[in-house]
Chain A
Amino acid sequence: MTENSILLEIRNLKKHFPIYKGIFRSAAGWVKAVDGISLKLKKGEVLGLVGESGCGKTTAGRSILRLLEPTAGEVLFYSHGQAEPINVTTAPPKVIKKLRQDMQIIYQDPQSSLNERMTVGSIVSEPLLVHKIGAPSDREQEAEKLLKAVGLEGDHMARYPHQFSGGQRQRIAIARALCLKPKLIIADEAVSALDVSIQAQVLLLLKELQNEFNLTYIFITHDLAVVRYITNRVAVMYLGRIVESAATEELFNNPQHPYSEALISAVPVPDPDYRVRRILLQGDVPSPIDPPPGCHFHPRCRYAEDICRNETPTYRELSPDRFVSCHLADKLNLWSFSK
């Protein structure tokens, strides 16, 4: 098992939701929440999936785990010791259940992702119970060990989630996700609901755990500063498509897609002397029910030309390991943020 081997490959993944109208509930249209994304994820990598609300990043995460049934495309998971990957999108329920041991998720709001009627001990050890791993006493020991690993006390086992603060609850959710020793964890806005000082604690914890348990993460978030801190690679989504993906520092220093450029320039910087001009995008993100033709970004793009209005750009490798979906990517001279 080499460090650079592929763990997950996503090919042209799509998730469309029907919109029902009228008394006969016929499908009147489709929300193309995820509209053909392709990604490769190496073992031990931390991939950031970023974008603004409605870009489809959360739907993408759930479709990858098959918590939602994808409409089209493939998700290939290279399990350990197997030459052939498992196709998550077509695997039967039995295989999916087995896969849950390898792929886990942490949600944004630990208030609602933990069952309030269960004790912390039974929440954390439930995955073991469900997968029939170990005797009850082993499971309890394991849960206690995990709680300690995420910075909680063993005697918290008998308490209920509402007795903990938001940050502590997120630690409980992390312990549960770690319980089955997964290979891949999808963190869906896992630190977004937390206060600044607690957010930093949890970020550090996730980083430590990555080394300790040899984890691969997909970090889904709208917070670009967090992404820059924790990821190696970033994919920027806009209206269901990936517009750019590259190594994190590459993308933050020299974005190659006008949307990435505007997005990075818009993030407030906690440094009063950093008074840079911002690219103010006009208008709002269009509705994913009826996205603009051609390049979805063209109505807000300051570089848009005729071709952008008419033709959908292909997602292509601009330079090694750097993918961009923009007709003008070779021509444009975008802002550089390296300093």
Chain B
Amino acid sequence: MPPVLEIADLKVFFYTDYGVVKAVDGVRFHLNAGETLGLVGESGCGKSVTAMAVLGLVRYPGRIVAGEIIYHQNAKKVRLSGLDPKGREIRSIRGNDIAMIFQEPMTSLNPVFTVGYQIMEAIILHQRLNRRQAREAAISMLAKVGIPLPEQRVDEYPHQLSGGMRQRAMIAMALSCRPSILIADEPTTALDVTIQAQVLELMMNLKAEFQTSIIMITHDLGVIAGIADRVVVMYLGKVVEEAGVREIFYNTKHPYTQGLMNSVPSVRGKIRDLKPIPGVVPDAFALPTGCSFQPRCSQVSKMCRTEAPPLTEVGPNHWVACWLHS
């Protein structure tokens, strides 16, 4: 499968009053057509900032300092990282080619407009449809995402919908222009388990129908195991491991990924003892030298303290940034 999105050596820094935060520091991965890529990491690892950079939505005082984000629009290559974040080109891509859904649907839907209006807005903006056609399209999208009585719901306001219904409406909005890439930032974290199961199922069905590639940002390894084809693990602004989903779960290489795996209990299988990663995530202003994981790593060596390990291929399509594996 050809890639639809390539990110190379991306650096996004935040210039704050207190110093520079290297939120994303040399991230490199790609997204293949039709694939679901899981982007995993804990708070502050830079996974959301990476997503925002793709859409040109990094906010002040943050800035893309270096790197390339290439979007393959049909046969054309568009260099997203070089576009003016307020310009026409990126705006025509945003929502139309690359759409995003967020964790909190209530904050990303505008409370003063009806759900239908907000979906129609995207449709009218990007496709040459008149209001009536757009309304029809909005209703059919709402039906597609499994909202009952779509003709009625289309005229309701976000607060009239339940959390799960709002997230469905967000998905309807995101997919209304049939984007080739959908970036989902913790889309089910705020939802109850039974609703999460519904929404994940819906996303996977729609992905097949619309042939959309998905970047799934989450901290939930269960969600990743269930829907991702390939996984990228991030820690403090860097990719530490990248591999196919079975490979990353059964042939885990990086000590941080291993730590994550040993930190999550499961509802199935034998009850294992948890082996948490010791310590805390370091202060973003005072990152450790060498490998950023070395202060918490149980297999640390001298080399780790002085030099950052490069991302190297240790098996077919399995990349690890760790001195143990290079």
Contacts and interface: CB of A to CB of B under 8 A. Distances in A.
B128 to A, nearest CB: 36
Nearest to B282: A165
A195 B268 contact: no
B194 A52 contact: yes
Contact of A270 (B164, B193, B225): B225
Interface in B261-300: 261-269, 271, 274-278, 280-281
A265 B43 CA distance: 28
A204 interface: yes
Given A204-B276, A271-B225, A262 B194 contact: yes
Nearest to B219: A196
A184 to B, nearest CB: 23
B274 A196 contact: no
A197 B265 contact: no
A203 interface: yes
* Interface size class, chain B: 35 or more
Residue among A199, A266, A337 with the highest chain B CB neighbour number at 10 A: A266
Contact of B265 (A198, A222, A226, A274): A226
A168 B196 CA distance: 29
Interface in A163-214: 165, 167-168, 195-201, 203-204
A277 B315 CA distance: 32
Interface in A9-61: 52-53
A221 to B, nearest CB: 11
Contacts of A228: 265-267, 271
B224 to A, nearest CB: 7
B162 interface: yes
A225 B269 CA distance: 11
Given A196-B42, A203-B274, A266-B197, A274 B268 contact: yes
B274 A281 contact: no
Nearest to A276: B268
A267 interface: yes
Contacts of A229: 265, 271, 274
B248 to A, nearest CB: 8
A267 B259 contact: no
Contact of A222 (B193, B261, B266, B268): B193
A320 to B, nearest CB: 23
A98 interface: no
A197 B198 contact: no
A134 to B, nearest CB: 31
A198 B43 CA distance: 11
Nearest to A52: B192
A225 B42 contact: no
Nearest to A228: B267
Interface string A258-297: 0000111111111111100010110111000000000000
28 contacts: A195-B281, A196-B260, A196-B263, A197-B259, A197-B263, A201-B277, A204-B274, A222-B193, A224-B193, A225-B222, A225-B266, A225-B267, A226-B265, A228-B266, A229-B271, A266-B197, A268-B220, A269-B226, A269-B268, A270-B249, A270-B261, A271-B225, A271-B266, A274-B269, A278-B201, A280-B194, A283-B148, A284-B163
